[in-house]
Each structure stands twice: as C-alpha cells, then as structure tokens.
Structure 1
Amino acid sequence: MSAALAVAGLIAASVLAWSLVSVRHELSDRDHTAADRAHAQQVATDYAVGASTIDFHDLNAWQVKLKAHTAPPLANKFDATAPKLQDILVPLQWTSTANPIGSVVSSDNGGVYKVNVFLNVSSTNAQTPNGAQTTVTYDVTVDGNNNWQITDVGGMDAALPVK
C-alpha cells in the first residue's frame, strides 16, 4: 500500500512539475512576443517621426532620417525620389514637426510586423505660412528577422485635418 502511495505521489509531483514548466514557457513566450511587438512599434514610430520632420533649409538631414534603418532596396527608392521631393519642398518652403499619437501592430507574420503609426504633424509652407496641423498615418513594415530593418513604408493617405 505504501509503495502505491509513493508511486501516486511521484506521478502527482511529476504532473505538477510538468504543468509549472509548461506555464513558465507560455509566460516567457508571451513576454517575448509582447517585447518584440513593442520594439517594432518603437522602430516604426521613430521612423515616422523622423520622416515627417522636415526643414527645407536642410533636406540632406531629412533624407538621412528618411533612409534611417531602412533595408537597402527601400533606401535606394528614397535615393531615386529625393531630388523630385526636393524640387517640391524647397519652392514650398516646407517645414514640419511631428509628435507621435500612438501606434498599433496590425499584423505579425513570423516576425515581420506591419505597424500603423499615428502622428500629429504641424507644418508651415509658402501656402500656409501660419501653419496647419494634420493627423497622419504611416504604415511601416519592420522585419524583426533582419535586424529590425524597415522594408516598406506607406501611408499619409488617411491624413485628417485637425480643427
């Protein structure tokens, strides 16, 4: 009888130990996932703020921010379009600053995160010298498997004027 109780006790202890290890792994995985998502949001937010902060007097500094942490194919696209953007921004005398409102991971596909970043952008230009404020949305793809590089940027199509 005492041998049966000892075996039952060992089985119960083994099940309890296995359950604790399983829960610990689940919690660790959850924490790791949450940390990765938060990191993707921070990378995307930092990028969006830099890309939206423009001073027509120093467009080279803006271009550096525009290409910061981007994968080479995306950086090459920005190199190709920068002269055209400068042709627009300089005559407009464009300046803008951006403040983050928030961000959300809209999808996670195996460590590649699509992040929606919402900014409040204050800008002045030749057409609105007193300035304007807009809410801007950036859709930023961050590849957590590739040193957290930004592989795609879209957005600003959902800009809403602030009244």
Structure 2
Amino acid sequence: MSTETEEKARTVSIRLSTAVTALALTALLVATVTLAILYAGARGTIADSEARAADEQHAEQVAADYALGASTIDYRDVDAWFTRLKIGTAPALSAKFDATAPQLKQILLPLQWNSTATPLSADVISESGGIYKVNAYLTVNSTSVQNPDGAATTVTYSLTMDRNSGWQITEVGGLQNAIPAEGTR
C-alpha cells in the first residue's frame, strides 16, 4: 500500500525565482492594461473637450461674421445688405427678411443711412443638442441725413444657430432677447 500512496501523493515543485518572476509579470500585465484603459479614457475626454471648443469657436465666428454683414449698410445698395442679411439663415428666417425688405427700404433710403461695423467679440451663451445661442458685439459707426457727422454705438446681435443643420441661423435679435425680463428670473 505504501507504493500506491506514494504514487497518489505526487508533488510539483516550483523554484521560488520562477514563482516570483510569474507574479511580477502578472502585476506588470495588470498595470499595463490599467494604464491603457486610463489613457484611452483620457484621450476620449480630451477629444470631446477639443470638439466642443472647436464648435463654440465656429459658432462665435459665424455670429461675428453675420453681425458684421448685417451692420454694414449703404443706402445706395440696400439690395446687397438684404443679401447679407439672408446669408447662412434658415429658409423661414430668410423669408421673414424678404417680407420686411420693402418696409426697410422705405426707411433707409430717405434717411440715406450708411453704417460700417467693427467686431468686438462673440460669446456662446448656451448650447443644447446642437442649438447654439451666441451674442455678437460690434462697434457701429452710422451716418444719416439726420446725423451727417455720424455716431458710434455698440450693438449686440443675439443669434440662434443649429449645428445639426449646417450651422444655419434660425433667429436674430437684439440683446433684449438674451436677457430675462423682470419677474422671469
């Protein structure tokens, strides 16, 4: 019987240096996988942050360009101004400009209105689902029959644009559209 017991009770011996090496390699593998996962996550976060910043910068540029075109008026070429008013706008907004063009001409022509603009800044106010609200600020120098010496004013355009529709501008208004009225805060 002792031979049978000896056969059943076999032992496996591993050198201590081999066990230590296997343990070290396992720890190194776990650390490498952990670092790779953390690196991939950080890269994704950075890429998302960079994409968000690029979208905001694009929205601000669209707003600044639009506001500059909308603030540059020469009564001798009002049609060019109407064209600039409609550049980059959604069809519904463009149609509103078409509908108001005759009334605006009746105001600008007799006044002999001229204005030039200098952009100051543009800031994204909010973003939700690709809809950006942006304020664009300009200094506008205007002359007219009533004020031939001209006047400089700071003008604010409040624009809403849709990134998902090719950055089309869907609304244009003044600062009153961006500031809550009394009692709605």
- Tell me, yes or no, whether TM beats 0.5: yes
Cα separation, 2, equivalents of 1:21 and 1:95: 55
Deviation of 1:6 (Å): 1.7
Q: Which has the larger radius of gyration?
A: 2
The TM-score, its normalising length taken from structure 2, stands at: 0.83
**Distance in structure 1 (CA, Å) of the matches to 2:131 and 2:35:** 36
> Percent of aligned pairs with the same residue?
53
The alpha-carbon deviation at position 112 of structure 1 amounts to 1.2
TM-score normalised according to structure 1 size: 0.93
Out of 100, 105, 108, the position equivalent to 1:86 is: 105
Give distance in 1, aligned partners of 2:39 and 2:133.
34
Q: Deviations over 1:41-81 (max 9, x none)?
A: 00111000000100110000000000000000000000001
Instruction: Look up the SS of the partner of 1:69 in the other structure.
Output: coil
- List 4+ stretches of structure 1 deviating above 4 A: none
Task: Confirm or deny that 1:145 pairs with 2:164.
Answer: yes
Residue equivalent to 2:126: 107
- The number of aligned residues is 158
Is 1:10–2:35 an aligned residue pair? no
Contact 1:100 1:118 in 2 (8 A): yes
Q: Which residue of structure 1 aligns with residue 52 of structure 2?
A: 33
| Structure 1 CA distance for aligned equivalents of residues 100 and 124 of structure 2 | 28
Structure 2 residue aligned with 1:132: 151
Which amino acid in 1 is paired with 2:33? S
Measured in 1, the distance between the counterparts of 2:176 and 2:73 equals 18
CA change 1:23–1:10 in 2 (3 A) is: same
Please give the root-mean-square deviation of Cα atoms over the aligned residues, in Å: 1.2
SS at match of 1:70: coil
Alignment of 1:53-68 (within 5 A): 53-68=72-87
Contact in 2 for aligned 1:104/1:115 (Cα 8 Å): yes
Higher RCO, 1 vs 2 (CA within 8 Å, ≥6 residues apart): 1
Letter in 1 for 2:145: A
For the residues of structure 1 that align with 2:173 and 2:131, how far apart are their CA atoms? 15
CA drift at 1:110: 1.6
**Aligned amino acid, residue 65 of structure 1:** R
Read off the aligned partner of 1:136 and give its amino acid letter. V
1:84, distance to aligned residue in structure 2 (A): 0.6
Q: Provide structure 1 residue ranges, at least 5 long, that are not aligned to the other structure.
A: 159-163
| Residues 9-68 of structure 1, C-alpha deviations (whole Å, 9 max, x = no match) | 111100101111111111111111111100010011100000010011000000000000
- 1:52/1:97 contact within 8 Å kept: yes
In 1, Cα distance between equivalents of 2:91 and 2:150: 34
